[in-house]
Amino acid sequence: MTQPEKKSPTEPLDLQRKIEDTVSGRRPIDSSTYPYFSPDYDVPFTHIGSEKQLFLDNFILDHLDGVERVILRPEKAEKPLLEWSNLPWEQAGFSPGVSSAIRDPDSGKFRMWYFQTLQGDPFNRDQVLCMAESDDAILWHKPLREDCVPFDGHKATNIVHRDVAASGLVLNHDRSDPARKYLMVYCPYGDARRRRQPILSRVAASPDGVHWTVISDDVPQRHQHETRVIWDEAIQQWIGYSQYSHHWHHGPRTRQIGRQTSPDFIHWSPKEVVLSVDWEPNLGPDREFHEASIRKIGGLYIAIVGEAHTESIWCTGHGGRVWRDQFHASLALYTSRDGRRFQRAGGPEPWVANGPPGSQDYGYACSSVAGGLVHDGRLIIPYSAIPHKQWVVGRSDHPTLVPESARQRGEHEMGMAKANGVDPGWPGTSTLRRAVGGLILREDGFASLKPSYEHGIATTKQFVFEGDTLRINADVSYGFIQVEVLDPQFKPYEGFAAANCQPVHGTGIWHTLAWKERRDLSGLWNKPVILAFHLHEASLCAFQFCSGD
C-alpha cells in the first residue's frame, strides 16, 4: 500500500455496531479474536492517524524508564477577563455566569458569551445573555451595538438575548445553514415561572452570535445548570454535560454530573449519571460535583469539574427531603476515553484551588467553558470567579436548616463578618463582585513527562499513523529531546535511530523532528511503529503526526 490506512473518525461508533451485529447474529463471531472486538483495519494495530496524543492517561504509553508524569496546573490570569463596569445594565449586580468562549472562524476574533442578572439576584431571575470580544483572549471588551437588545432607553448594548440562564452555546460543526452558525440550549426561567414549570430547555440558533431565533420551545429531555456541549465526531452526536440534580428528588446526591446526547441539538437522550462522588473512594462524602466542562483532544476527553465542598448544615423540605446547599467550589481534572467513565487526574487535591480570603475566587472557582481558547502557544480557559461561598444561613428563601447548632454557628460567623465590615452575602452587597477569571496553560499542556532526575526514556505502544512529519510539544528551553522510531523487535527503522535524530532544543511550543536532515516518515506508513522519547533535562507534553511542516 502506498497510502496510509486511514483512521476511521467514527471508530467507537463502528466498533459499537460491530459488537451489536455480532451479538444479534447478523455478523459471525470472529473466533480468531473473540472475546475481543477490534476495529476492522487491514493493519491490526492501534490507529492514531494524525490525532494529538497527550499523556494524561496511559493510552499511548507502554513503559517509563526514569520518567515521571506531572499533572500541570494552570496559572490564573492576573486580572479578571471580565469584571463589573459602569454599564447601566450591570448596576443591579454584575454576576456573570460564563456560557461559552469561541474563536470565530470568520472574523478570527475571540468571543465570549455570559449571562448576568439585571436585578442583583444571581439565581436565574431576569437574566440576559451578553457578549464580549478579544484579540488575544486575555484583554476583553464589551462591544456596544445598536442591533443588540436595548435596555431602559439605551439602544447600544452588549445584550444579545433576554431570559437566558444555565446556557450551553456552541459553534455549529455543520455550516450548511448560515442561520444556524451558532446554537444554544438554555433555560428561560422567567417563561418557566409564567408556565408554572420548574425549568424549561429551549434551543435557539443564530447566524452571528448576536441575533437569535428560537428553533425548539422546550426540548422533551431537559438540561439543567451550566450545560456544556461539544460535538463528538467519533459518535456523530452532540454531547451535553450538566448537573444531575435537583433538590426535589429523593435519594441520590443533589449534585452529580449527567450526560446527554443528540444528533441535531434538539432531540436529546435522557440524562445519565456519569460522575458521582458515591463512586469516588478517594474523596470524602462531603464533596459533590457542581458542573463539568469537556474538551476532546484526539480520543481523550478532558473534564474540568467544579467540586462543591459542602458544609455540615442541611436544608429540609417537603416530604422529609434533606440536602446541603452551603459550600465553596474548586476545580478538579478528570479524564475519560469514552465520555462516560471518568478518572480523577492528579490525586485528591484541587487542580485549581480557591484563592485566599478576599481574593476573586475565594468562594467559587468553577463553571469553566467547554474547550478553550488558544493564542500564541497558550490555552486560556475562562471560568466563574466568585469571592464568596454559597450561603444558606441568613437567607429567607431557604427552608428550615438543621441541625440547629450548625445553623446558629453559621449565623454567628456571618454576623461577625458583617460586624467587621465584610459582607459575605450576595452580589451587590459583597466587598468584591463576581467576575470571569482566566486559567492559563501551555497549549495542550495538561500533563508532561519529565525525567526523574536528568535522563529518561518514555516508550509508546505499537501504533499506525498518518502523515509524513512528527511534531512534539515539549519544553526544551534548557535540555533536549531525541526520538527513535522502533520496529516490533525494538530495533530502529533504518535511518530513525536516536543517534540520527537532531536534538530538539530551544524556545517555542511545537517542534518538528528530523533525522540527519530527514523528516519524511511516509515510508513507515502501515507499519507498526513504537516511539522512544529520550528526554534529557526536558519535558514532553504531546506528539502529533501531520503532513508537511
The predicted-structure confidence for 296-320, as pLDDT tens digits, reads as follows 999 999 999 999 999 999 988 877 8
Residue-wise DSSP of 109-161: -EEEEEEEESSS--SSTTEEEEEEEESSSSSEE---BTTS--BTTB--BSEEE
Q: What is residue 417's predicted lDDT score, i.e. its pLDDT?
A: 79
Q: What is residue 354's predicted lDDT score, i.e. its pLDDT?
A: 97
Give yes or no for residue 223 having a pLDDT over 80. Answer: no
Computed over its alpha carbons, how large is the radius of gyration of the chain? 25
pTM: 0.95
Homologous superfamily assigned to 75-442: Glycosyl hydrolase domain; family 43 (2.115.10.20)
Q: What is residue 248's predicted lDDT score, i.e. its pLDDT?
A: 59
In our burial notation (b when 16+ CB lie closer than 10 A, e otherwise), range 504-521 reads beeeebbbebebeeeeeb
Question: In angstroms, rounded to a whole number, what is the distance separating the alpha carbons of residues 146 and 159?
Answer: 10
Give yes or no for residue 333 having a pLDDT over 90. Answer: yes
> Identical fold at 11-72+445-546 and 75-442?
no
Q: Determine how β-strand 447-451 pairs with β-strand 67-71.
A: antiparallel
Closest alpha carbon to 165 in 196, 201, 132, 140: 201
What is the tens place of the pLDDT at every residue in 466-517? 999 999 999 999 999 999 999 999 999 999 999 999 999 999 999 999 999 7
Q: What is residue 146's predicted lDDT score, i.e. its pLDDT?
A: 96
Q: What is the mean pLDDT of residues 123-145?
A: 92
What is the tens place of the pLDDT at every residue in 41-66? 999 999 999 999 999 999 999 999 99
CATH architecture of the domain covering 11-72+445-546: Sandwich (2.60)
Question: In angstroms, rounded to a whole number, what is the distance separating the alpha carbons of residues 77 and 79?
Answer: 5
**How many percent of the chain have pLDDT more than 90?**
72
Say which residue the cell 522519547 belongs to: 533
What is the tens place of the pLDDT at every residue in 5-44? 999 999 999 999 989 989 899 999 888 888 888 899 999 9
| Type of residue at 459 | T
Looking at every residue in the chain, the average pLDDT score rounds to 91
Note the Cα 246 to chain centre separation in Å: 22
Q: What is residue 344's predicted lDDT score, i.e. its pLDDT?
A: 95
**Residue 247's pLDDT band (boundaries 50, 70, 90)?**
low
Taking the domains of the chain in order of start, what are their residue ranges?
11-72+445-546, 75-442
**Residue 123's pLDDT band (boundaries 50, 70, 90)?**
low
Question: In angstroms, rounded to a whole number, what is the distance separating the alpha carbons of residues 371 and 236?
Answer: 18
Q: What is the mean pLDDT of residues 207-226?
A: 88
Closest alpha carbon to 47 in 327, 467, 347: 467
Q: What is residue 317's predicted lDDT score, i.e. its pLDDT?
A: 80
Question: In angstroms, rounded to a whole number, what is the distance separating the alpha carbons of residues 476 and 377?
Answer: 14
Give yes or no for residue 430 having a pLDDT over 60. Answer: no
In our burial notation (b when 16+ CB lie closer than 10 A, e otherwise), range 183-192 reads bbbbbbbbeb
Q: What is the mean pLDDT of residues 145-160?
A: 96
What is the tens place of the pLDDT at every residue in 70-105? 999 999 999 999 998 999 999 877 778 899 999 999
Question: In angstroms, rounded to a whole number, what is the distance separating the alpha carbons of residues 104 and 108?
Answer: 5
Question: In angstroms, rounded to a whole number, what is the distance separating the alpha carbons of residues 254 and 271?
Answer: 14
Using an 8 Å Cβ cutoff, are 291 and 257 in contact?
A: yes
Grid coordinates representing 283 are: 474523596
**Residue 224's pLDDT band (boundaries 50, 70, 90)?**
low
Residues in the chain: 549
Grid coordinates representing 112 are: 465570549
* Better pLDDT: 200 or 180: 180
**How many percent of the chain have pLDDT more than 70?**
95
Note the Cα 8 to chain centre separation in Å: 24
